[in-house]
Each structure stands twice: as structure tokens, then as C-alpha cells.
Amino acid sequence: MALKIIKKPTPNFRRGRGRHTPIAIVIHIADGLNNKGGTDAHFANPSSGVSAHYLVNRSGVIHQYVDEKDTAIHAGIVFRSRWPLINTGSSPNSFTIGIEHEGFAGDTLRPDQEAASVELIRAICGRWNIPIDSLHIIPHNRIRANKTCPGAGVDVSRLIKLASDV
């Protein structure tokens, strides 16, 4: 499957990653932003102060907001983290890549959306030499326990299994 990626720049990012490189991917759901247009507008708004590297919409089209070499503002608040790779001396944003998925908490990914997400995960892991496993591809709630993101409908284990099957 050829990935269809549309660039959608955001002002909400930091150039570079300091001394870090990406070691993991954080999976999100764009809950409350309704659709790709809502997410695009939210990330384009400087007062929102948030972003992600990518959004996978329901039809499988991918929007890229932040270059992978830069830091997106997607998972910076650490609260009762259950992720063993967390580095309490740095924001998780500096060493992760954030992938949002169009939908609401509880939604399952649609077939084209899931396929595009799997291909995107494979591509990112290949570029950054990130292992495709549950230690390196995680739901947002493993960093911030008081969030349900990405919700019970997004089966991160399934994404990992499909991405690791070649």
C-alpha cells in the first residue's frame, strides 16, 4: 500500500529534538475533534499549543503536521506512567513520534485507516530503527494514566501484530 501523506504545517512544535532521537511511537485518538478538518484547525491554531506528527483519517489518508526530526507537542504530560522507557528528565515528546487517528474514544479503526496506520508505523520504525513491539509502540495512556486515549476501540496490540507481519 502506498501511503498518501498530505503536509499540514502547524506552528505548535519545537525545532529538533535536543539530544534525543525517536525511540517510540505514541498512538492517539483525536477524540472531540470530530474529523480531520477539526484536527487540522486545532493543530493550526497557535493558541491550542498542541500537535502530533501525523493524523490517520478514516479513509486512510494521512496528514503530517510535524517533521519527524522535530518535536510535536502530543504526549508531554507524564502522570502515573506505566511505560518503562519513560525518561523523567525529558518530555516524552522529545523522544516519541505521535500518531493521531480520526475518531472518538471507543471507536474502532476502519479497515483503510487501520491499514494506513500499520504502513505508517512500519515506515517510521524502519526510518528510526524502532522495534515493532509493545515497549516501543504504546497507547498515550501508558504515559498519562488519567487519559483514556486512544480508547478501548483502538487495538494497539493488533496494530503491532499487523505491522510486524511482513
pLDDT value at residue 75: 94
- The pTM of the full predicted model, rounded to 2 decimals, is 0.95
Nearest-CA neighbor of 24 among 135, 146, 145?
135
Task: Mark 146-163 as b/e (b = at least 16 C-beta within 10 Å).
Answer: ebebbbeebbbeebbebb
pLDDT digits (tens, 9 = 90+) for 67-112: 999 999 999 899 999 999 987 778 999 999 999 999 988 899 999 9
Instruction: Give pLDDT tens digits for 9-67.
Output: 999 999 999 999 999 999 999 986 655 578 999 999 999 999 999 999 999 999 999 99
CB 12 within 8 A of CB 135: no
Nearest-5° Cα angle at 6, 137 to 74: 40
